[in-house]
C-alpha cells in the first residue's frame, strides 16, 4: 500500500501496546514484518526513563512509526497530542483517534473531521480512525486526508468485520483511496476477509499482543495478509444463490430404454 508519499513494505500494520515485555514485542514485530508500527505518545511518555527506553527499542526495530492520538476525546486534545508526537517521533504521520463513546470506543466523527482539517493544514499526514460511513469518509477526504482507516469492529473486540456490506460499499465508492481496516480484527481469517473485500492493509494490536503465543500469531497474520492479497488477485468466483454442478452433464453418455 502506498500511504501519502511512502510505499509500505507490507500491508500489515502492528500496534505496540499490551505486550507482556519489550522482548516479546520485539520478537512479534520481527515475526510480523509489518509495514509500520503504531505508538501511543500518552502511554510511552508516562515515565521519562521508560519512554526513552521504549523509543530506543522502537528505533532499533527499523520499521516506520505511525504515532497515534489514542485516548483523546476532544479536538483540542487530539491536535495537541499530534503536535507533541511530531516532535517526539520526528514524523508528520499521525493516526488520528478522537473517541466519542466510551463503551465501544467509537470515533466521534464530527470532532474527527475538524481535527483532521486542522492537522492537515499544519502539514500532518493524517490516518483517521473512522467508521464505514460514506458521508464521513467524504468529509475526511475534503479535509485533506489521503488515507482512510475504517473500523472492522470495536477496538479490542476481536469480532472481525461487523458490517461487510458497509465496508464493501465504502471500498466501492472510493476505489482509488488507500484504506486500512483498523480495529476489531481478532483472527487471521478476518484479515483474509478484509483483503478479499478490496482493502489495502490492516492494523492489529490486541489480536497479537494478547494471543497465547504472540510471536506465532504475528507470523500467522503476516501469512494471512499474503494469502488474502493473492486470493484477491486471483479473481475469486462470484457467490450464487443456486447450486451449479462442478461436473457438467452436457456431452456425457446417457443410457435409456
Active site residues: 95
SS3 labels along 208-251: HHCCCCHHHHHHHHHHHHHHHHHHHHCCCCCCCCCCCCCCCCCC
Element (H, E) at 167: helix 164-173
SS3 labels along 50-110: HHHHHHHHHHHCCCCEEEECCCCCCHHHHHHHHHHHHHHHCCCEEEECCEEECCCCEECHH
Q: Three-class SS of residue 25?
A: helix
Nearest to 122 by CA among 89, 79, 69, 87: 79
DSSP β-ladder status, 180-182 and 149-150: unpaired
DSSP β-ladder status, 65-68 and 106-107: unpaired
Query: What is the spatial distance between Cα 250 and Cα 229, in angstroms, rounded to a whole number?
Result: 35
Backbone φ/ψ region at 71: left (φ over 0), alpha (ψ -120 to 50), beta: left
Cβ-in-10-Å burial (0-12, 13-18, 19+) of 144 comes to: middle
Is the Cβ–Cβ distance between 34 and 63 less than 8 Å? yes
Amino acid at each position: 500500500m502506498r500511504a501519502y508519499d511512502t510505499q509500505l513494505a507490507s500491508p500489515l500494520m502492528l500496534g505496540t501496546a499490551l505486550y507482556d515485555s519489550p522482548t516479546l514485542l520485539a520478537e512479534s514485530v520481527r515475526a510480523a514484518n509489518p509495514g509500520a508500527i503504531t505508538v501511543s505518545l500518552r502511554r510511552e511518555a508516562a515515565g521519562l526513563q521508560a519512554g526513552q527506553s521504549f523509543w530506543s527499542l522502537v528505533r532499533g526495530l527499523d520499521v516506520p512509526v505511525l504515532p497515534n492520538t489514542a485516548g483523546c476525546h476532544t479536538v483540542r486534545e487530539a491536535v495537541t497530542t499530534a503536535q507533541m508526537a511530531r516532535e517526539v517521533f520526528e514524523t508528520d504521520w499521525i493516526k488520528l483517534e478522537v473517541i466519542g463513546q466510551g463503551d465501544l470506543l467509537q470515533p466521534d466523527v464530527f470532532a474527527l473531521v475538524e481535527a483532521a482539517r486542522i492537522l492537515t493544514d499544519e502539514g500532518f499526514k493524517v490516518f483517521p480512525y473512522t467508521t464505514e460511513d460514506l458521508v464521513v469518509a467524504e468529509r475526511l477526504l475534503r479535509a485533506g486526508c489521503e488515507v482512510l482507516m475504517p473500523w472492522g469492529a470495536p477496538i479490542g473486540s476481536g469480532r472481525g468485520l461487523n458490517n461487510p456490506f458497509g465496508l464493501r460499499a465504502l471500498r466501492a465508492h472510493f476505489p482509488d483511496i488507500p484504506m486500512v481496516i483498523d480495529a476489531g480484527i481478532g483472527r487471521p481469517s478476518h484479515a483474509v476477509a478484509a483483503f478479499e473485500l478490496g482493502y489495502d492493509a490492516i492494523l492489529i494490536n490486541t489480536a497479537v499482543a494478547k494471543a497465547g503465543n504472540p510471536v506465532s500469531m504475528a507470523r500467522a497474520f503476516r501469512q494471512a495478509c499474503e494469502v488474502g492479497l493473492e486470493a484477491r488477485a486471483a479473481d475469486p468466483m462470484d457467490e450464487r444463490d443456486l447450486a451449479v454442478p462442478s461436473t457438467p452433464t452436457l456431452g456425457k453418455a446417457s443410457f435409456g430404454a
